[in-house]
A and B are shown apart, each in its own frame.
Chain A
């Protein structure tokens, strides 16, 4: 036997303590969700700023502000901003659709985070280009566990 009694008990305890681990979206799933948004286009880093507190006490309500550098003119504006999480049960959090009539590409909202993780923001510009930014955060009390 390659697995001894002590190791077996440890695994048993760990698996019963964290049954929700199976439900977590992984980084691969987040990457898949981003791919669905972006399609065949190339995605570049920059222009997108995601503000989340670096330390979150309660994951049930996290204030998140996303801003994109854009002149917001009819020729050059932000068409959509997608928020994707790496450690939530589902990768997608929210998508905002806008045009030059927004005036500025800044949106604030409240989200749920079920674990310490990186959150990505992907902006689609009117010229079809995609830009991304991320923020990492530490969550002490996770959402979804009770």
Chain B
């Protein structure tokens, strides 16, 4: 069964050509580490996001491999150079077929 959740992207709508654009992305996810136990002593299985990929008009510009030590509701702030008008796509993939995708439009002047 695939899962998805809410994601939040903060980035400017317009930028000058060659300008460095700051992007902040947050995704709603518990990031269950696999080290915690229930009150009955059973181990809670790991359920985390493993991978984040940002593509700019189809070209990968940023990627992250996530491990259980990432905080709940992962937040990543990174940057990219505005080269041309287009779409930035943000894809998350994880355990239990988790997948979520968001996109943002950037107009380059």
Contacts and interface: CB of A to CB of B under 8 A. Distances in A.
B64 interface: yes
A95 B67 CA distance: 9
Given A112-B33, A144-B35, A98 B78 contact: yes
Interface stretch (B5-13, B55-63, B98-106): B55-63
A99 B62 CA distance: 8
Q: Is the interface of B mostly helix, strand, loop or mixed?
A: strand
B80 A60 contact: no
Interface residues of A, number: 32
B92 to A, nearest CB: 13
Interface stretch (A86-94, A121-129, A130-138): A86-94
B77 A103 contact: no
Contacts of B36: 144, 146
Nearest to A60: B71
A104 interface: yes
Contact of B79 (A23, A61, A95, A104): A104
List 3 A-B pairs, minimum CB-CB distance, nearest first. Answer: A103-B20, A110-B71, A108-B77
